[in-house]
């Protein structure tokens, strides 16, 4: 059964947001190296806990986007559309993480689905496939 594996938090100022969440909740936050600035959030020492990340807001619809792990991004994207949802961002590969599709549900809420790739470096560290 698909499960929540990640929450992506959009921020106008990701460094400010990182300080806020770290100071308020005591979460461990570290900036990842890579071409797109992204801060990985660890909310617990429990390896089964849902993780999060903070990125610069790029679109007006972005706020907090829960991510659901699925075995096939293509199959679930088709299910989403069949049931009245719409695709906001078509399938994209996040190297080392997986295939991500962002969608709106029938109530205009934005979510993402993630088909993880094997050897996802974040799975062992955070207890989930999502980064």
> What's the CATH number where 32 sits?
3.10.180.10
Boundary residue ending a domain (20, 44, 63):
63
Is 22 domain-assigned? Answer: yes
Name the residue range of residue 108's domain: 70-119
> What gap in Å lies between CA 66 and CA 109, rounded to an integer?
10
pLDDT digit string (tens) for the chain, length 131 residues? 899 999 999 999 999 999 989 998 889 999 998 888 999 999 888 888 898 999 999 988 889 999 999 999 999 999 999 999 999 999 999 998 999 999 999 878 899 999 999 876 655 443 444 44
Tell the residue number behind the tokens 């993780």, with chain if given.
51
pTM as predicted: 0.75
| Distance in angstroms between the alpha carbons of the first and the last residue of the chain | 19
The residues, any chain, with a CB within 8 Å of residue 66's CB and separated by 6 or more, are 4, 6, 7, 111, 112
User: Which two structure tokens, joined as six digits, stand for 130?
Assistant: 């999502």
Q: Strand 64-69 to strand 28-32: parallel, antiparallel, or no bridges (unpaired)?
A: unpaired
Look-up of token digits 């991004």: 73
Domains identified in the chain, total number: 2
User: Is residue 131 assigned to a domain?
Assistant: no
Structure tokens that stand for 118 in this block: 């094997």
């Amino acid at each position: 059964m698909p499960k929540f594996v990640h929450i992506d938090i959009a921020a106008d100022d990701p460094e400010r947001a990182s300080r806020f969440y770290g100071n308020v909740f005591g979460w461990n936050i570290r900036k990842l190296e890579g071409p797109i600035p992204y801060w990985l959030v660890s909310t617990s020492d429990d390896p089964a806990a849902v993780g999060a990340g903070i990125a610069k807001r790029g679109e007006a619809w972005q706020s907090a986007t829960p991510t659901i792990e699925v075995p096939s991004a293509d199959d679930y994207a088709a299910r989403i559309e069949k049931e009245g949802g719409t695709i906001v961002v078509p399938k994209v590969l996040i190297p080392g993480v997986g295939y991500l599709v962002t969608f709106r549900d029938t109530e205009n809420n934005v979510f993402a689905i993630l088909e993880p790739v094997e050897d996802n470096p974040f799975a062992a560290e955070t207890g989930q496939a999502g980064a």
